[in-house]
Amino acid sequence: MAGEGPSAIGRVALVWDDRVAGYDLGQGHPLAPVRVELTVDLIRRSGLLGLGVDEVLPARLDEAAVLRLHRPDFVDTVKRLSADPTARADPAFGLGPGDTPAFPGMHGASVLVCSATVEAARQVWEGKADHAFNPAGGLHHAMPERAAGFCVYNDPAVAIDWLLEHGAERVCYVDVDVHHGDGVEVMFADDPRVLTISLHESGQYLFPGTGHVEDIGGEGAEGSAANLPLAPGTTGTVWREAFDAVVEPLVRAFAPDVLVTQLGCDAHATDPLAHLALTVDDMADIYARLHRLAHETAQGRWVATGGGGYQLVQVVPVAWTLAFAEMTGRRLPFEIPMEWREVAVERTGVTPPTGFTEDPVRVSEAMHEQAVTAARGSIEALRRLVLPRHGVR
């Protein structure tokens, strides 16, 4: 249960602005803003705020900070479609029918998401908070020249860029979303100051089809990317084995100034868009590991974003409240507050869980064996291709 790992040294920030719910890809879209609104509501009702744990509004972000990483013609297209989502646009920009439809106010809403993640980075880098969380962030598929995978602008990348511009010399990005963190990797593939690590369901089975173990960074920055593809049916035990074998020694060896994480919870066994088999208890263990690494390698500087997760009521708010509780070092009540459950039903019609824990998931023996074989294959490949480049033997 959250709260048993390292305690937060000082202040913890929850970065939130109600207007971020304007990042809305439309009725019926899996990335529904209600999942983040319910997360913030559950954090508030669970007694995690106050006494040095505060909500913080994002400051206005200079548009130039977005343009640094996103191509001007793409940004111009986003602006144009924000005013008229029905306008025609080059399909190469990734906006339109499909995963990432245009919507009114898209540019402003996307910049606000970036602003919130930059604010989380600023809070941590300037020593105003030890840890900071933007649950609306984590739009890790956005590319410099196009939108992709529900993501218009890449807020984790924009925040990492801000940190580098403001004096950070080494930033480690760990992505636990079930989908490969491709956009962040692409934006920093040639920059040895940034180590990107992604644990995800193999692209053989899942969007975006990338994140192979052989992808280890660009020329002159080999070892700046580490990818751990996993097979369908991967349980928490197998997932943690991969994390402990590769991620922990890599982060320790890299010794970042800041740890930036994307906490997508779509690796959950019931997520409708993927095929791994984690529980919210597994995710709580993951957040505890990341918390410990932040304190042991980055002087506690931990910037966290949300990300994927499409069980809008039963998983996302629970998982990310567990993450925030871990950041604060506080215990959650055993039961999820009744008032929140009533709100969740009223807003979605979905019956929420009653507690913050759940039973382990069982998979078939054949699927488990396949998952173990795949995970250990990824571990061995990275022990050969990446860890030695960081002095890990």
Active site residues: 141
The H-or-E segment that residue 103 falls in is none
Residue 203: count of CB within 10 angstroms of its CB: 18
Please report how the helices 106-125 and 72-83 are oriented relative to each other, as an axis angle in degrees rounded to 10: 130
CA dist 342 to 26, 351, 355, Å? 24, 9, 14
Strand order in the sheet with 53-56: 53-56, 12-15, 131-134, 302-305, 258-262, 171-175, 194-201, 225-230
Asked if residue 275 lies in contact with residue 232, where contact means CB atoms within 8 angstroms, the answer is yes
337 phi and psi, to 5 degrees?
-55, 135
**Whose structure tokens read 């629970």?**
318
Please report how the helices 155-165 and 106-125 are oriented relative to each other, as an axis angle in degrees rounded to 10: 40
Integer Cα distance of 150 and 60 in angstroms: 23
Integer Cα distance of 18 and 136 in angstroms: 10
Give the CA angle between residues 239, 241, 246 to the nearest 5°: 100
323 phi and psi, to 5 degrees?
-65, -45
Residue 69: name the closest of 146, 179, 168 by CA. 146
Asked if residue 387 lies in contact with residue 250, where contact means CB atoms within 8 angstroms, the answer is yes
Integer Cα distance of 320 and 25 in angstroms: 21
